[in-house]
């Protein structure tokens, strides 16, 4: 997910600014207007993540449902997420990369998706926009024959998410794979009914209780992101409880 900048006291962008409380989303009457997204026919599903946690925060429950239904799953992690704590006094970037890869693997196991194929593209964290065409080229062969591909929303207001989404959209077009986008940071910076959000393209995936429990357990695997690494401001949690709450609801949303 990765929100941190060097200066966490400034709210120069929508991600650094205080976000919309999950209770505001909970009370939104517009949920009932969203159609239910049906799972694709059985086959291979590819989920692209900009950082190793986006796939679980955005679509973890859907991954659990797909795994339970017997789909073959591939997760493509575009970056290793090594830039989540620049200036950390506890972990260096290469240590974060290793830990975050382990956390993602553990989370997938907790989702019942331990057989998921994981492909890492090792693009520099925070630099996906500079490697967008290389990401597209890497994704095309992975998308061939997939019954569905999903990637971060191209207007998520996070540079890596948007660039990964654009590359995936282009690759899906080339490989003729059905494509959906999933929002991650949107729940933080948008508000219910927000005109910046394409609600007419939105569909939701309801998570049965057992799947919802699995997702909550899976999200707990991202200890390096949801808990402080150390006492300093540079080691604070990237995902504070208020932000995490958006990803613990009993449904997920995609844009068609
Ligand atoms: Zn991310």
Q: Which CATH architecture has domain 41-191+198-255?
A: 3-Layer(aba) Sandwich (3.40)
Name the 3-class secondary structure at 73. strand
- What is the 156 CA–ligand 1 centroid distance (Å)? 10
Residues 16-36: tens digit of each pLDDT: 778 999 999 999 999 999 999
Residues above pLDDT 70, as percent of the chain = 96
Residues 141-163: tens digit of each pLDDT: 999 999 999 999 999 999 999 99
Q: What is the pTM of this model?
A: 0.94
- What is the 34 CA–ligand 1 centroid distance (Å)? 25
Residues 156-203: tens digit of each pLDDT: 999 999 999 999 999 999 999 999 999 999 999 999 999 999 999 999
Residue 7: its pLDDT value, please? 39
Residue 11: its pLDDT value, please? 55
Please check whether residue 151 is in contact with residue 143, taking contact to mean a CB–CB distance below 8 angstroms: no
User: Where residue 136 falls among pLDDT bands split at 50, 70, 90?
Assistant: very high
Half-sphere exposure of 100 (CA within 13 A, CB side): 33
The domain ranges of the chain are: 41-191+198-255
- What is the 184 CA–ligand 1 centroid distance (Å)? 7
C-alpha distances out from residue 206 to 75, 191, 203, Å? 21, 20, 10
Containing 252, the helix (H) or strand (E) segment is strand 251-255
């Amino acid at each position: 997910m990765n929100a941190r900048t060097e200066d966490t006291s400034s709210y120069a962008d929508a991600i650094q600014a205080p976000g919309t409380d999950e209770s505001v989303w909970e009370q939104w009457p517009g949920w009932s207007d969203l159609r239910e997204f049906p799972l694709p026919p059985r086959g291979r599903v590819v989920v692209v993540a900009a950082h190793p946690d986006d796939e679980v925060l955005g679509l973890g429950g859907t991954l659990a449902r797909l795994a339970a239904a017997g789909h073959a799953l591939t997760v493509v992690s575009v970056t290793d997420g090594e830039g989540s704590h620049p200036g950390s006094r506890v972990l260096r970037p290469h240590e974060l990369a290793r830990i975050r890869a382990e956390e993602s693997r553990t989370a997938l196991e907790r989702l019942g998706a331990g057989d998921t194929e994981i492909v890492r593209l090792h693009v520099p964290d925070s630099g996906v926009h500079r490697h967008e065409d290389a990401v597209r080229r890497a994704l095309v062969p992975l998308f061939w024959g997939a019954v569905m591909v999903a990637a971060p929303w191209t207007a998520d207001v996070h540079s890596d998410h948007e660039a990964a989404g654009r590359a995936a959209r282009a690759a899906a077009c080339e490989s003729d794979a059905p494509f959906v986008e999933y929002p991650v940071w949107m729940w933080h910076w948008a508000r219910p009914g927000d005109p910046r959000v394409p609600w007419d393209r939105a569909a939701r995936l309801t998570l049965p209780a057992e799947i919802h429990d699995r997702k909550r357990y899976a999200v707990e695997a991202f200890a390096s992101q949801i808990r402080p690494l150390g006492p300093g401001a540079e080691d604070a949690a990237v995902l504070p409880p208020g932000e995490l709450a958006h990803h613990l609801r009993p449904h997920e949303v995609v844009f068609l």
